[in-house]
Amino acid sequence: MTETQATESKVRVLLVDDEHDFVEMLATRMRARGLRVETAESGEEAIDKVGQGSFHVVVLDLAMPGMDGIETFERITEIAPDIQVIFLTGHGTIQTAFQAMKQGAADFLEKPASFQELFDKVNKAGQRTMLLVQERAVEQVADILTKKGWG
């Protein structure tokens, strides 16, 4: 996906990491590429923001004080089942990556990850969320039409 496509897509991203400087730097770079980005520095804050907003993708740190990334992931997907979650962590293990992917995570990257690779994965995941939401809306319209006897 090109930079122009990202700008046109208006992918909404929530970056979640307890390292303030890191998450702000990443947010600045993603905004410069046309993504709409918000940040959270804890699992609890991320859950609140997902509950209040409409995000396509969450980039989530695995190891955070308090609520860890796996628990945060589980709570986020209860609130917003179509949201795509990409784990980005410096504390990854093969077992944790497998667990996250098995539970439905879109991807798992280890720090330091290439910014371009992360950016590409975020765009791809954002497009997937938009497609899932669109498919769900079409199904709901078809269901309404059928119930009303118009379909």
How many Cβ atoms are within 10 Å of 81's Cβ, its own excluded?
10
Instruction: At 110, give phi and psi (nearest 5°).
Output: -100, 140
Residue 38: domain span: 3-147
**Cα 41 off chain centre by:** 15
**What CATH number corresponds to the domain at position 34?**
3.40.50.2300
Q: How many structural domains are present in the chain?
A: 1
pTM: 0.84
Each residue's pLDDT, cut to its tens digit, for the chain (151 residues) gives 444 444 445 899 999 999 999 999 999 999 999 999 999 999 999 999 999 988 999 999 988 999 999 999 999 999 999 999 999 888 767 777 778 888 899 998 988 889 999 999 999 999 888 888 888 888 888 888 888 888 6
